[in-house]
Structure 1
Amino acid sequence: MYEPIRTKSVHSTPAASDFPHRSRDEELDIQLAGHLAALLAVTDELRGPAAGPELDTAAERLSAEVARLRGGRAPVRAVPGAAADPAPLHRRAHTLASRALVVAASRADTAAAILAAERMDAHTAALAAPRELSAAR
């Protein structure tokens, strides 16, 4: 019915087997650390216009999680920004937290999943607060 392949595959050379590969868990760690680091950067930006102890605590917890995932290397921190409207930053932070939650769940990292879910809730509440005030007028 068909002719069997008689030559060796070019993909199974000794040089190809020497290439370092990362495991799925290592890839998920890298991806999760990236999402949490991006969330930390947005949180740091939010600390300028919406400074408060809750955001400071969240930033410290995010920093600790990123450091844990990166083998102890502390993440680079952003300078608190002076954005006029924090709503776009809250939307971006919510999106980043949801991405981190998906990766943390697939990786079965309970601590990171809880932190991401808490940040999603906090940013949802921050986005809903101005609407409630404007609806009361």
Structure 2
Amino acid sequence: MHELLLQAQDQRVVEVFGADPALPAADLESRKAAADQLVRLRLAQFEDDARTRLRLTNPGRYWALNGGYMALLKDDPERAAGGNGRGRNPEMEQLRYQFMTLRMRTFWWSFGISIASFVMSLASLSIALRYGGALLRP
């Protein structure tokens, strides 16, 4: 998988099965499994409908430049193993949930204040247009 990732970094689009048709079947199967794993991790995507050409995504380019698949394993082993985050610390998950709740509450408060300010500016504009001349006279 590491070699396929680095090969895709060197070329814009890489053939999953390579240019050599004389490769053994086990090697072809391992290259196909590696390509499927890269797509599953969202490091690459298939370029064609036959799923034989592979192109790196932005995260794939990042990991290819910063050490390849081995660096991904070292930095985020759970993601590389195909996990979806279920093995996280429950206390951290609770803190994340509380933080997200506070962020959403802050968003809605700022949204409401923005709408109220807009309504007040429209009211101010209508008053200025309607009574503007009378207020400027001595």
TM-score of the superposition, structure 2-length normalised? 0.30
Bigger radius of gyration among the two: 2
Between Structure 1 and Structure 2, which shows a larger proportion of strand residues?
2
Q: Bigger relative contact order, structure 1 or 2, given CA contacts below 8 A and separation 6+?
A: 1
TM-score of the superposition, structure 1-length normalised? 0.30
